[in-house]
Amino acid sequence: MKKVLVLTGAGISAESGLKTFRDSDGLWENYNVYDVATPQAWAKNPALVQEFYNKRREQCLSAKPNAGHLALVELEKEFNVQIITQNVDDLHEKAGSTNILHLHGELNKARSSVDENLIYDLKGKDINMGDFCEKGSQLRPHIVWFGEMVPNIEIAQKMMRDADYLLIIGTSLNVYPAAGLVSFVPAHCKTFLIDPNDCPTGNISNLTTIKEGAGTGVSKAIKIILQDM
Ligand code: APR
């Protein structure tokens, strides 16, 4: 079975009501990202960081997958599909996709602030100051903040090397190392970019651009892949 690799960013969840990061005002849901999504922010004001992610988690609880997420589930009937997502929401899971690698963590999980291997499922609940891991340290969001290592990046690079097709959906390709993954695909790989806006695509070969939102654009890319197989 041919392998379809899918790299998603915030844009695939936009039509589910979740805001993208790089809107024109430079703020993320009215917060400056450096006040809430960096290790420095956590050191300075952990309660603010918790509040921010508690709000994002609550918002995600009611969000539903859109046609873009659902089209990727259908694709599993014909292909071996692996999703690599930069998103911390769980909309690929809710849609029913099978193979999902989260690069930047997951909103619905907490982890120990002294042992990154102690990870807990939050089942939609808040994390509060005073909630501790089994080693007695404060729980923090299971999120890869700006300036932190991306633990899954090498696994993602390996996945890229096996791709026959690559779908890039709703990512501004601004944030590294995730944006650099596209350079790992083999020469025969056919790549599709689905985004209503222009993205930096300089070194991507075999590229088809579908300048649309994920809700309609993902199905169009899949149609082309099905004709090509
Ligand atoms: N369908 C598809 N794409 C869309 C849609 C839509 N309906 N609406 C907007 N987009 C596109 C935008 O044009 C933009 O190119 O989604 C992209 C979103 O880009 P970013 O907001 O930069 O999000 P992303 O690329 O996922 O950010 C990467 O940066 O903030 C950090 O860790 C965070 O994972 C995030 C990473």
- Domains detected in the chain: 1-18+65-104+150-229 (3.40.50.1220), 19-62+110-143 (3.30.1600.10)
Going by alpha carbons, the residue nearest to atom 1 of ligand 1 is: 213
Strands (E), 113-189: 119-121, 139-143, 165-169
CA atoms within 13 A on the CB side of 21: 17
- pLDDT, residue 28, reads 74
Q: Is the peptide bond before 151 cis (omega within 30 degrees of 0)?
A: no
Check residue 90 and give left, alpha or beta (phi > 0: left; psi -120 to 50: alpha). Answer: alpha
* Dist. CA 94–CA 133, nearest whole Å: 27
Strands (E), 71-127: 80-85, 100-102, 105-112, 119-121
* Dist. CA 143–CA 226, nearest whole Å: 35
Examine the residue annotation and report whether 188 is marked as an active-site residue of this protein: no
Check residue 170 and give left, alpha or beta (phi > 0: left; psi -120 to 50: alpha). Answer: left
* Residue type present at position 27: L
Q: Ligand 1 — pocket residues by CB below 6 A?
A: 9-12, 14-15, 20-22, 86, 104, 170-172, 174-175, 195-197, 199, 213-214
- β pairing state of 139-143 and 119-121: unpaired
Buried (b) or exposed (e) across 1-12, using 16+ Cβ within 10 A? eeebbbbbbbbb
Separation of CA 217 and ligand 1 centre (Å): 15
- β pairing state of 119-121 and 105-112: antiparallel
Separation of CA 178 and ligand 1 centre (Å): 12
- pLDDT, residue 219, reads 97
Instruction: From first to last of the 229 residues of the chain, give the pLDDT tens digit.
Output: 999 999 999 999 999 999 887 765 666 778 888 999 999 999 999 999 999 999 999 999 999 999 999 999 999 999 999 999 999 999 999 999 999 999 999 999 999 999 999 999 999 999 999 999 999 999 999 999 999 999 999 999 999 999 999 999 999 998 899 999 999 999 999 999 999 999 888 878 899 999 999 999 999 999 999 999 7
Q: Where would I find the H helices in the chain?
A: 33-36, 39-44, 46-62, 67-75, 91-95, 153-161, 214-228
Q: Which of 69, 92, 102, 104 is catalytic?
A: 104
Q: Residues 219, 71: contact at Cβ < 8 Å?
A: yes
Give the predicted TM-score (pTM) of the model. 0.96
Nearest of 105, 101, 98 to residue 181 by alpha carbon:
101
- pLDDT, residue 191, reads 97
Separation of CA 59 and ligand 1 centre (Å): 17
